[in-house]
Structure 1
């Protein structure tokens, strides 16, 4: 009988579940502060308001893109920092700094203009660069193999719920108390979470003062991490030459192309093609992200069940759900391309399916770096997120080049077909070349010992 079969989880909820909840809320708040400007800027530039800004379309585009200027820069360094300092400190800095910048945004915008707003967004992007590498590191420390699909999906699904709630709430907040209320609400909630996490959060089970010995042993045994944990040097040359990892990076890039194409263009498509007004637009635009949030839970649970029952190997389970998450949206976007003009219901259904079923990626490429090398998962995620978010910047620009007439359904069809093709090709590369096998360089010292023993023999 193997270790995984002998290792029995303690009954009831544990500290790892409390950490999962805190990290879920961190993702939720990080994404609300990531997308709040997209909704707020509509009201900020409305001349019917008492306080508004006469910003040109190009200035508004600069403000909306400035977050990603900072976000891309620190991805790889953030992965290294998370490995050496642990995920807790960097996660607290990320959400805390974003919260403080949100609180100063309304006053700063009035006195500093768009330049101040851009500077704040760049700083928010710089600090949010820590989110995914730190989260990956924390998951690799806290989540046992038997619960990885379910609990890690819950954590990452917080981002989609954050987008949906922000899209819905922003309109109501701005209508009731002005656009400033959007930033004050996000900032206040972010500060509350940061204080709570600093008190109750922990970088690893070994550092937690609340965890029981039984739960600690369960997590350590599951992850093969019993004993003192050493800080290992990052094997950059081995990472660069690891094809299974780069297959996950390619899938991540394909996922971001489709996801950010829809996230940035969906409101415009609904307004220009489907003739949906702004208030209704926010609610309808949130439906796909709510669907993605809700679908992530059964997919995460099914992942754990399939692996636990031995129906599929870990690798084939990853491939299955990644294919659902990328090839599913590809088919839905083709269906959307041929939706009859004026059929709002069918168009919204196809958009909801294309984003909602994308939840499969949480149990696919997102977990590969933890499978391959949990000791360096933060560095791997930093590299992957770096390339994927360059794609996030490029995709909307390419859409802008393709679409000359925003009311022309034929031009939108080109955008949707391009996204479908990228989904299909990148997932095919992932299926052919990825792996879930623990890499020898995950434990550099052990790998060196084995090499020396082989040479001696």
Structure 2
């Protein structure tokens, strides 16, 4: 009895990890990495305004007479590359490790950002489209890789908060890029500086990540035993579990692609992506053409919604963490409440925005800010749902969903380019905003009906229990993993338990 109490005390001591642990440092690194990745992703949204109207920005640099359709092709070219690596990225992260894949993504993207001004001067918009396509290709692995890393590092009770802290980096990246780009475009460095600065910082981050980043707690040199035990206990995993056993776990593609909760998750994510990228790529043009703001005030007003978005997401993290730990809300109910707030509020404000007059600039800025800010609440809705449905295949689910949703990132700017033929025409913008609001409403409606936070049966490898009787009369149950549903038994993992 004394030995049992002592073992219990030792276990409790092992589980009492420091308040700030290696998992939090990892979140900070991913936060900064996403900040730079999104800075390199959205810099063109503001730079292209200066590139097509340098008389208003910096006349020392070349001006490009591109049509609105050409502009839409340039802005969407990134996403044509972005969708290609999404689906296989989850499998790559499981096989080769999230640390390596995230390093490749950020470092290669940084080099391409540094080469962007040269590509425009040499090959005009076709070469720019090709470079942005390649940049989208290497950034396509980012989110599936982060989901795979978080599935290994985030205790269940901290899952939403940690994932939201990480993903908040995108908002800071947008804020910093949009807020500074107006000043940079008007400076002596001109619009090329909006590519040089995040590219150089991205290479610095890559060096730091290469030293401190880790795919799993078991691969981390700096984590304490207490923190490693805490994470493993929360995830109910054996700390000594080999990486090879996870690699041989087959991906149930058919079950994933026919899973109703996952399909509505994709639908909700597609609806969010349509609204998010419509606003992100078109807010600068709308503010310039409809609200009549100059390049510097344009940059400030374009960044303001994402600044408030970042603030709200950081404020809500402790609330979401409290709700998860206190068990006051069922996980499924929590996801649906947050998702409804994050998608139906923007649906209303977007439609309202479309019916404003050109002399209501202040109200338009307020509605734009409110629309983008409230959408961050979806971090606690569908955006955390990939880890809920399947912790083991979180990266794969994220890749499939991101690939589908980023089709909207391609289509949305193209739709704007074909509908908004005259950027000063308020009625054409009304169509764009009303369409985005309707899509957001429908996406969440389906999530309310069919969404769930329950772990799906296909998360684990199918198993077959076989009763074995030895010659000495003892009975055992043998649990064998099955690689196929037809009963073929795989030999990747076996355990024996005495009956």
Q: Please report the TM-score for the alignment, with normalisation by the length of structure 2.
A: 0.85
Partner of 1:276: 293
What are the Cα deviations for residues 136-162 of structure 1, in whole angstroms up to 9, with x where unaligned?
Answer: 111111111111121211111110111
Partner of 1:262: 279
Larger Rg: 2
Partner of 2:118: 107
CA pair 120-322 structure 1, distance change in 2 beyond 3 A: same
Instruction: Check whether the contact 2:102–2:142 (CA below 8 A) recurs between aligned residues.
Output: yes
Partner of 2:387: 370
Q: CA deviation at 1:107?
A: 3.2
Aligned length: 448
Partner of 2:341: 324
Partner of 1:12: 19
Partner Cα separation in structure 2 for residue 24 and residue 288 of structure 1: 19
What are the Cα deviations for residues 233-257 of structure 1, in whole angstroms up to 9, with x where unaligned?
Answer: 1111111121111111010001011
Corresponding residue to 2:102 among 87, 91, 108: 91
CA pair 242-397 structure 1, distance change in 2 beyond 3 A: same
Partner Cα separation in structure 2 for residue 271 and residue 50 of structure 1: 21
Corresponding residue to 2:449 among 421, 424, 432: 432
Tell me how large the CA RMSD over aligned residues is: 2.2
Moved more, 57-66 or 14-23: 57-66
Q: Describe how 1:10-159 pairs up with structure 2 within 5 A.
A: 10-45=17-52, 46=54, 49-57=59-67, 58-159=69-170
Runs of 4+ aligned structure 1 residues displaced above 6 Å come to none
Instruction: Check whether the contact 1:299–1:359 (CA below 8 A) recurs between aligned residues.
Output: no
Q: CA deviation at 1:9?
A: 5.2
Moved more, 158-167 or 271-280: 271-280
Instruction: Check whether the contact 1:78–1:379 (CA below 8 A) recurs between aligned residues.
Output: yes
Partner Cα separation in structure 2 for residue 43 and residue 267 of structure 1: 11
Moved more, 200-209 or 308-317: 308-317
CA pair 447-439 structure 1, distance change in 2 beyond 3 A: farther
Partner of 1:315: 332
Q: Secondary structure at the match of 2:238?
A: coil
Instruction: Check whether the contact 1:149–1:301 (CA below 8 A) recurs between aligned residues.
Output: no
Partner of 1:165: 176
Partner Cα separation in structure 1 for residue 156 and residue 212 of structure 2: 23
Partner Cα separation in structure 2 for residue 203 and residue 398 of structure 1: 39
Instruction: Check whether the contact 1:43–1:52 (CA below 8 A) recurs between aligned residues.
Output: no
What are the Cα deviations for residues 29-81 of structure 1, in whole angstroms up to 9, with x where unaligned?
Answer: 10000111222233334266333153422544433222112111221122221
Partner Cα separation in structure 1 for residue 116 and residue 310 of structure 2: 29
Partner of 1:196: 208
- Greater strand proportion: 2
Q: Structure 2 unaligned segments of length 5 or more: list them.
A: 1-11, 466-478, 488-499
Partner of 1:384: 401
Corresponding residue to 1:352 among 369, 373, 376: 369
Corresponding residue to 1:226 among 219, 227, 238: 238
CA pair 269-114 structure 1, distance change in 2 beyond 3 A: closer
Instruction: Check whether the contact 1:440–1:447 (CA below 8 A) recurs between aligned residues.
Output: no
CA pair 113-335 structure 1, distance change in 2 beyond 3 A: closer
Partner Cα separation in structure 1 for residue 273 and residue 213 of structure 2: 30
Q: Does 1:251 align with 2:268?
A: yes
Corresponding residue to 2:410 among 393, 396, 419: 393
Q: Secondary structure at the match of 1:226?
A: coil
Q: CA deviation at 1:267?
A: 1.8
Instruction: Check whether the contact 2:76–2:409 (CA below 8 A) recurs between aligned residues.
Output: no
What are the Cα deviations for residues 197-256 of structure 1, in whole angstroms up to 9, with x where unaligned?
Answer: 000110111100000000001111111222404221111111112111111101000101
Q: CA deviation at 1:340?
A: 4.6
Q: Secondary structure at the match of 1:185?
A: helix
Partner Cα separation in structure 1 for residue 309 and residue 258 of structure 2: 33
Q: CA deviation at 1:428?
A: 1.0
Partner Cα separation in structure 2 for residue 308 and residue 364 of structure 1: 16
Q: Secondary structure at the match of 1:280?
A: helix
Partner of 2:432: 415
Q: Please report the TM-score for the alignment, with normalisation by the length of structure 1.
A: 0.92
Partner Cα separation in structure 1 for residue 283 and residue 117 of structure 2: 27
Instruction: Check whether the contact 1:77–1:382 (CA below 8 A) recurs between aligned residues.
Output: yes
Moved more, 326-335 or 280-289: 326-335
Partner Cα separation in structure 1 for residue 270 and residue 304 of structure 2: 24
Q: Secondary structure at the match of 1:73?
A: coil
Partner Cα separation in structure 1 for residue 408 and residue 15 of structure 2: 42
CA pair 54-218 structure 1, distance change in 2 beyond 3 A: same
